[in-house]
Structure 1
């Protein structure tokens, strides 16, 4: 079967649109990542300046420990919030890219089936077994893709669980540091 010029143009048009959708989703994710980093950098700059000013104005070691304690806990919480936001952006972008890819693969598979069906209708006698093999290969490829899609979904679930566990551990560690700093600050103030 020979493809017509219109069919070839339609395939190229479809490929261009698919690439555009994929690139757009990737750029949207990157923009969100940049926006998050800019927001974090501006906030960190302001807070670091404020913390440095407070540390420089400390009159006693106890005051310096209090400044340190006031900075440690929020820093840990902010790091965890940043990690969660980063994970959300990455996860959302991955899901959007997967949607586009699934649509592309579904469309491509459908077009391939249509082409094979058209070819089979016009194929010379005696090629039925070859056409059956081609259709079996297409079905096997579709089944393999579905298996990969399910495995990817499971991997995302595991990653989300691991991220949540890491966030809990880090938050607990930051809280422990804050408790330790407060205890040290109290010791210093009772010693003085």
Structure 2
């Protein structure tokens, strides 16, 4: 049988280790997201530089102003489509990173709650007589806090899904508008 201070000390140590593991995990996920973002931007910059060079050569080889303007106008739709593809890829990276953060945080909170409930149960077994009401009140408050977190988590997920759906709808509308625009 452990004393109550020992139980709290062990719980505090385990909680600290758990939080450090979560921090490490989130840091790794953040670096992975940044790495993907940097890779996307480097790839886009390289492709843009190559396309700009090619387009400049075409424009400089134009025989007259009409051909110059026709070549310029022909570049608008492909550029818009590439911008849309870039935006979708960027949104995909952001959504994936956010999902990984949420998943890691949820797992950590679930595990922490489980440990706290276990600690409270263990401590309540050794609690002095007459403290049953205080323990029950604490358990009730813990249950209410957990329910509040779950509701907040559901609402946050719904908000993220709505935002993602709105961004996708806007991108789809822009894509449709670009495709419907008359080529000049």
Q: Which runs of 5+ in 1 are unaligned?
A: 183-192
Instruction: Measure the CA separation in 2 of the matches of 1:21 and 1:131.
Output: 34
User: TM-score, length-normalised on structure 1?
Assistant: 0.87
Is 1:127 matched up with 2:131?
Answer: yes
Q: Which runs of 5+ in 2 are unaligned?
A: none
The answer for the alignment partner of 2:167 in structure 1 is: 163
For residues 167-182 of structure 1, what are the structure 2 equivalents within 5 Å?
167-177=171-181, 179=182, 181-182=183-184
Deviates more, 1:12-21 or 1:42-51: 12-21
Measured against aligned partners, the alpha-carbon deviations of 1:154-175 in whole angstroms (never above 9, x if no partner) come to: 1122112211221122223323
Is 1:29 matched up with 2:8?
Answer: no
Instruction: Measure the CA separation in 2 of the matches of 1:39 and 1:18.
Output: 31
The answer for the alignment partner of 1:144 in structure 2 is: 148
Structure 1 ranges of 4+ moved more than 4 A: 4-8
**Pick from 2, 6, 17: which aligns with 2:5?**
2
Deviates more, 1:29-38 or 1:2-11: 2-11
Measured against aligned partners, the alpha-carbon deviations of 1:120-172 in whole angstroms (never above 9, x if no partner) come to: 11111111111111101111111111111211221122112211221122223
The SS at the match of 1:10 is helix
CA RMSD of aligned residues (A): 1.6
Is 1:17 matched up with 2:38?
Answer: no
Instruction: Measure the CA separation in 2 of the matches of 1:33 and 1:119.
Output: 48
For residues 37-56 of structure 1, what are the structure 2 equivalents within 5 Å?
37-56=41-60
Instruction: Measure the CA separation in 1 of the matches of 2:160 and 2:138.
Output: 33
Change (3 A) 1:7 1:154: closer
Instruction: Measure the CA separation in 1 of the matches of 2:10 and 2:172.
Output: 57
Change (3 A) 1:84 1:142: same
User: TM-score, length-normalised on structure 2?
Assistant: 0.91
The SS at the match of 1:123 is coil
Q: Is 1:76–1:170's contact at 8 Å kept on the other side of the alignment?
A: no
Q: Is 1:29–1:93's contact at 8 Å kept on the other side of the alignment?
A: yes
Count matched residues.
180
Q: Is 1:120–1:131's contact at 8 Å kept on the other side of the alignment?
A: yes
